Amino acid sequence: MLIKLQDVTRIYRLGVERIHALDGLSLEVGQNEYVAVMGPSGSGKSTLMNILGCLDRPTSGTYELDGRLTTRLGAAALARVRNEQIGFVFQSFELLPRVSALKNVELPLIYARTGWRGRHRRAQRALERVGLRERARHRPSQLSGGEKQRVAVARALINEPSILLADEPTGNLDSTTSEEIMALFDQLHREGQTIIIVTHEASVAVHAKRALHMRDGRVFSDLPVDRDPAIQAALAPVPTAPAEAPPNAQEGRTP
């Protein structure tokens, strides 16, 4: 099992109040799964992603990533896990504005212990993988929203991570560009990439194979997307009122 969370809690203190962002959550995700995480604001989605991405630690419980118990790792070891095993894609792209797309993609290699040799070539291949070979020298200000997100995906993939975590990756994109980005995620999944994506849009979630719905820090629904009633209902076509029948040709005539 690639990901295994067991009885994970995350409690934040706000003055004297204790907020249970995650409340005894257990979850398993296998290699090459494609999972959508959904739920209302405050349901624990972002906290779950922070735990999965080793950006935060559980208050209690355990998180095992690819057979390694991350909850026992120190700060330096967790930083290596984030850099080498986890790829992040954010809604706001998080690109450095003053450097090229190629330099943005190279960034994780600069912090990695390996990968210094040939990093330009590796970054170029990553950009080619997302269809941006000809835009490598362009800065973010010279790229469209969809191109910026493709650069972010290339950067996330540069170290061949175990999992790709995407937090509302289409939130700043129009519907046409969103579909293009989701087609890219579909392609990555077909190539074997494990993907976990947070979204509130059924049109995005339907690209995944499995949907988790969260509420009050727990998973209350875990179903294949094609059997998830909430997603299927949201995607169902809206019925239209029947067209009004034309008036009878004889109506209103005096016999």
CA neighbours closer than 13 Å in the CB half-sphere of residue 38: 22
Number of folded domains in the chain? 1
What confidence tens digit (pLDDT) does each residue in 127-181 have?
999 999 899 999 999 999 999 999 999 999 999 999 999 999 998 899 999 999 9
Q: Is residue 26 part of a domain?
A: no
Q: Is residue 48 part of a domain?
A: yes
Measured CA distances, 223 to 74, 216, 219, 248 (Å): 35, 18, 11, 51
CB 59 within 8 A of CB 11: yes
Q: Is 252 domain-assigned? A: no
Given pLDDT bands bounded at 50, 70 and 90, which one contains residue 16?
confident
What pLDDT is stored for residue 236 in this prediction? 86
pLDDT band at 254 (very low <50, low <70, confident <90, very high): low
DSSP 8-class letter at 238: P
**Do the domain assignments include residue 143?**
yes
Per-residue model confidence as pLDDT tens digits over 84-120: 899 999 988 999 999 999 999 998 888 765 556 688 8
- Whether 11 has a pLDDT exceeding 60, the answer reads yes
**Which pLDDT band holds residue 34 (cuts at 50, 70, 90)?**
very high
Whole-number Å distance between alpha carbons of 107 and 193: 21
* Domain boundaries, position 112: 32-58+74-234
Residue 68: inside a domain, yes or no? no
Does residue 253 lie within any of the structural domains? no
20 in a domain, yes or no? Answer: no
pLDDT confidence of residue 132: 93
pLDDT tens-digit profile of 204-231?
A: 999 999 999 999 999 999 999 999 999 9
Report whether pLDDT(42) > 60. yes
Say yes or no to pLDDT of 250 above 60. no
The CATH number given to whatever domain includes residue 181 is 3.40.50.300
Query: Does 152 map to a domain?
Result: yes
Locate 54 and state its tokens: 């080793």
Nearest Cα neighbor of 46 from 19, 69, 64 is 19
Structure tokens at 11: 């409690």
